[in-house]
Amino acid sequence: MDQSLLLWSGFAAFIVAMLALDIGVFHRKAHVVGMREALSWTAAWIGLALAFNAGVWYWLGSGAALEFLASYLVEKSLSIDNVFVFILIFSYFETPPAYHHKVLFWGILGAIVARTIFIVGGLALLAMFHWTMYVFGAFLLVTGISMMRRKREAGGPDGSLVIRLARRWLRVTEQYDHDRFFLKRDGRWFATPLFLVLLAVESSDVIFAVDSIPAVFAVTREPFIVYSSNIFAMLGLRALYFAVAGFMQSFHYLHYGFASIIVILGVKMLLSDVYPVPIAASLALIGLILIAAIVASIVKPLRREGLIAPPPLRP
């Protein structure tokens, strides 16, 4: 069997198996995910990603393994911004904690489909039109600078276009009905507020994918590496949310760290024809930026009281 076909089919089977195991065995009943469970799942997903990285090293070589590790680190880091937005969405809609996992499961499942389309389209553009590399690079540069300058101000997800259209075209109940997205009353179907929460989660991830996927293109353009690193970061996002939703708000400088990474990757893409930055150097720089942002947050905590508002959705 062709090695490429074996890799793609094996990875697809792995995704299906893990999603089925997650929703069909470990989270068959709605419950509040505790810290111990969340940390265990986070460690499991990171362990699986590292084990997969070892497999990439064996099958595709050390260069591909370093590209996967750097791409996974970029996606995992940028996905922390998703956590802040999830906090905002669940808080705004007053979603019971027991239903968070179901929303995130279906939201991330939809995100996998959307990101697959984005990755295929982006790689096709890069293959057909070399100049799109500079478009992606400039976009990352502008986005990163914009993120640095933008203040963390909370914005209501109920005002987003997707939610406004849903409220206009769907009949929505006032109250949650357990963990159901839809229910039937008097022969008519109604959406519950939980479905609006799902729409908010889905639409926010599409916005985040617009800059996170080009950021990975700055690291590698090998389709299997881009896709697998993206999916591993997404599969572990639910566990990451439950593990860090509380204390991660203390790391207020991470937002600037993420912006710096996006700017650097944008510059790397713009200069790729002049000076291709070694992947090991990119990996080391990304790690140093994240460590510096975490240390700075600990050394210089915010003076004001209260929770740090999640960042507005990136354009």
Rounded to 5 degrees, φ, ψ at 32 are -75, 125
Ordered per-residue pLDDT tens for the chain, 315 residues: 566 777 788 888 888 888 777 665 555 666 677 777 778 888 888 999 999 999 889 888 888 999 999 999 988 888 777 777 888 788 888 888 888 888 888 888 888 888 889 898 988 888 888 888 888 888 888 888 887 776 554 455 666 778 888 888 888 888 888 888 998 888 889 999 999 999 988 888 887 787 788 888 888 889 999 999 999 988 888 888 877 765 666 677 877 888 888 888 888 888 888 887 788 888 888 889 888 988 888 888 765 444 444 444 443
Given a contact cutoff of 8 angstroms between Cβ atoms, the answer to whether 234 and 208 are in contact is: no
Distances (CA, A) of 45 to 38, 87, 193: 11, 21, 30
> What is the Cβ-side half-sphere exposure of residue 22, based on CA atoms within 13 angstroms?
23
Token output for 10: 């094996």
Separation CA 229–CA 224 (nearest Å): 8
pLDDT recorded at residue 40: 84
pTM score: 0.80
Parse the chain into domains and list their residue ranges: 33-155+211-299
